[in-house]
Structure 1
């Protein structure tokens, strides 16, 4: 009995040792900054920490009344609602297509994944040139077919869709690889049995692929939602939140408030609000996906 207890303790210690590096990184780079942001949200100070004043809940009261905050929240939700389904849909479709063995599938895997290893800043700069109405390739094609070039990034209605498409193009290859790993983990015997029963390709996808892939789908969807709430790079490079603040997201508003207006306390309050919104959205999505797994089971 003592040997068994000793063995269990050794396993627990080994497990703690393996988990310790991740927990240290999480504590230093996530938990501690979050606590600092919460503390800063109740203070007023500049970049040099001069004239520190306790503001109570003034920043949060201002937050509720701030039209720019609600505009940025709407833009962030707009980005999330349209980018996540498009991103996951394209990633899943590409994963199903490249799952087939062959040289063409291997080439497609490399081509689809290539944008994922590029910097979002570089990708945003390239796409800014491509859609430029004066020197862009897309404008040249439009002119070639008799259409007038459109300044997409300066259009209040087209700027956000352009930002969404760039984000989807950049990230869907990464999600494709994750979903492809999930697809490869499904036993082929399920599909063979379904074929013997006369199931069509759509029925196999609906009754076998989706239920068996649901844990992986849950991860990719939640991860995509978190990433979409944190969108910043392509907005800052391509539009800087314009035109008319139509593409200003919450992270871009935090950056502008902190480093343009030098209001660190209010920027911290916005950051705390963003964390709470992202946390609630992630938990609700995860619970909904888990319920979907139970329903499909």
Structure 2
């Protein structure tokens, strides 16, 4: 017969196992957790690693650096000098900041409603197309979104030419004398809005996808009850696509507040073009770019950037608060 182990041996063994278990949980907890991950999960983290490194190095890192620079005087040549809130106080006294903010707000108020309304109209037209032609028209409507913004700016610089532009020539067919879109200060911002309506592909496709998900039986039930096309659109279609509308309004608002490349290409690419309209086309991000890379006021430009970030965050928060009261979520309805 086998003798049972002595108390000392058993105790020592038990103590050793207890100590090893405690040490494994304390010192090797992370390793054990990683080992418990399924192989596909570990590979997912491996493939995500380049993106995470890029996020840290090219986005979060520069954002943190710009926040620090916003409290300094820095010209890219000498060492940064701490300036406290001087850059933020300077913004309140800079008349060009006020002009840039005004132009950006006017552009946003014009562009967002027009872009969403026009994109919704195009999405409704796409929703009526069936068969093979549907894919062709979706591609055609989305193609303008693939055009580089610099190319769009150059294109509309010719289209909106006051003397020989195609837009004014089209208006002349109806006996309308077109304005000087690129030189008249009163028409510069409307011209920029007209140019920005070229890029509606993404908004159109998002709204088209939402329309495709509207249950057909709801419209049919409303039709049986005697509802006309407008009543069905207002009482059935709009509530069902309200979440998509809410999303595109937020995205278009953020994009409008950051408008830069097309405007810079059209109006700030050379001194002659810039002098012809004064500050009528000076939007906020263009002024930020000028301070950073034309005048080398990197600290002031960083303060401008963080002020814009704060404004966008505040506007988005307000939109979310208001939108949650107006947007219909089907999942919440089923849950209730």
> TM-score scaled by structure 2?
0.77
SS at match of 2:128: coil
Q: Pick from 272, 276, 290 the counterpart of residue 256 of structure 1.
A: 290
In 2, distance between residues paired with 1:151 and 1:143?
A: 13
CA contact (8 A) 2:243 2:328 kept: no
Partner of 2:154: 125
Tell me, yes or no, if structure 1 residue 275 matches structure 2 residue 309.
yes
Tell me, yes or no, if structure 1 residue 246 matches structure 2 residue 280.
yes
In 1, distance between residues paired with 2:139 and 2:219?
A: 27
Partner of 2:299: 265
Deviates most, 95-104 or 250-259: 95-104
Tell me, yes or no, if structure 1 residue 174 matches structure 2 residue 208.
no
Partner of 2:98: 70
> TM-score scaled by structure 1?
0.86
CA contact (8 A) 1:222 1:285 kept: yes
SS at match of 1:169: coil
Which stretches in structure 2 are left out of the alignment for 5+ residues?
Answer: 1-32, 269-273
Partner of 1:3: none
Partner of 1:158: 187
In 2, distance between residues paired with 1:256 and 1:96?
A: 41
Tell me, yes or no, if structure 1 residue 205 matches structure 2 residue 238.
no
CA contact (8 A) 1:97 1:105 kept: no
Pairing 1:186-201 to 2, within 5 Å after superposition: 186-201=214-229
Q: Pick from 60, 67, 75 the counterpart of residue 38 of structure 1.
A: 67
When residues 143 and 214 of structure 1 are mapped into structure 2, their CA distance, relative to the original with a 3 A threshold, is closer
SS at match of 2:185: coil
Partner of 1:136: 165
Structure 1 residues 72-106: Cα deviation after superposition (integer angstroms, max 9, x where no partner): 11111111111000000111111111101336655
CA contact (8 A) 1:98 1:106 kept: no
Please tell me whether Structure 1 or Structure 2 has the larger radius of gyration of its CA atoms. Answer: 2
CA contact (8 A) 1:255 1:267 kept: yes
In 2, distance between residues paired with 1:183 and 1:18?
A: 38
Partner of 1:291: 325
In 1, distance between residues paired with 2:167 and 2:118?
A: 22
When residues 28 and 107 of structure 1 are mapped into structure 2, their CA distance, relative to the original with a 3 A threshold, is same
Deviates most, 147-156 or 179-188: 147-156
